[in-house]
Amino acid sequence: MQTISIYTDGGARGNPGHAAIGVVIDGVGYGEYIGETTNNVAEYKAVISALQTVTKNLKTEAQQTELLIHSDSQLIARQITGKYKIKLPHLKELCVEARALIKNFKEVRFVEIPREENTEADALVNKTLDNL
């Protein structure tokens, strides 16, 4: 079984405001502008984007793969894993989307990390927003 390490971050300048995601998959990163939204939506979109990218790249091998998703968003990690309830309908929809993608993999674990340990994904968010 292979293990893939993922770091995700999402941010909005203003809340809501211009927003972007940053994703680093086994050391290879990308940032993407996602329009005007909130920080929490951006955090969800980062996780969803990472899951979609790995699913697409692995195809049938995904079922034998473990993902370690590192996030500095305790809220998102705990909502997706079911430790926290989700009250807002638009976040529930994003959570359902993330959980559906998670089913493609043998195992997905969320690792809650401090912001200082998520510098690469955070830098991708900020670089994307700086270039608007």
Task: Report which DSSP code applies to 64.
Answer: G
Residue 84: both structure tokens together: 């926290």
Domain coverage including residue 41? 2-130
Gyration radius (Cα) of the chain, Å: 14
Structural domain count of the chain: 1
Task: Report which DSSP code applies to 73.
Answer: -
pLDDT, tens digit (0-9, with 9 covering 90-100), for 108-128:
999 999 999 999 999 999 999
pLDDT, tens digit (0-9, with 9 covering 90-100), for 20-70:
999 999 999 999 999 999 999 999 999 999 999 999 999 889 999 999 999
Residue 24: both structure tokens together: 């680093």
Q: What is the CATH number for 84? A: 3.30.420.10
